[in-house]
């Protein structure tokens, strides 16, 4: 069975995963699996976020104060850790986003020119 084109962790520029997670969290409180699913779905399966990179990244966000976490009940009556974005997380996301847009626009211009 042909594997979809999956990006591994090393393909993502540093900090990109955090940006994607923060963007996802602007939708509301989510648990880790939902975050991973959301990113995978929106990227058409290009970014398949593995637990080994997702959870350390989430822990980093917690340490930096950009996200908070609490235990809550899922609709299926199970307990899961729900992550939410903080005010400073939103600010950080805005900065990352504008930086990303500048860089990608610049890359696009260079690629077009050649």
Give the distance, in angstroms, between the CA of residue 25 and the centroid of all CA atoms in the same chain: 8
Q: How far is the CB of 112 from another protein (least distance, A)?
A: 38
- Only one of the segments 13-21, 25-33, 93-101, 102-110 lies at the binding site for another protein (rule: CB under 8 A); that segment is 25-33
Would you mind telling me the total number of residues written for the chain in this entry?
A: 114
Q: What are the structure tokens assigned to 9, written together?
A: 């962790």
Per CB under 8 A, the list member of 6, 27, 64, 97 interacting with another protein is 64
As a whole number of angstroms, the distance between CA 33 and CA 9 comes to 17
Residues 6+ apart with CB under 8 A from 10: none
Residue 32 binds to another protein (criterion: CB under 8 A): yes
Q: How far is the CB of 87 from another protein (least distance, A)?
A: 6
> Which residues sit at the interface with another protein, rule CB under 8 A?
1, 31-33, 36, 51-52, 55-56, 59-60, 62-66, 68-69, 71, 78-81, 86-89, 92
């Amino acid at each position: 069975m042909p594997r979809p084109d999956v990006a591994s962790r090393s393909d993502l520029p540093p900090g990109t995963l955090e940006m994607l997670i923060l963007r996802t969290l602007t939708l509301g409180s989510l648990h880790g699996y939902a975050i991973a699913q959301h990113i995978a779905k929106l990227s058409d399966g290009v970014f398949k976020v593995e637990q080994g990179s997702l959870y350390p990244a989430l822990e980093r966000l917690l340490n930096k104060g950009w996200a908070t976490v609490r235990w809550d009940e899922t609709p299926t009556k199970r307990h899961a850790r729900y992550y939410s974005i903080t005010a400073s997380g939103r600010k950080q996301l805005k900065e990352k986003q504008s930086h990303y847009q500048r860089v990608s626009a610049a890359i696009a211009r260079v690629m077009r020119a050649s």
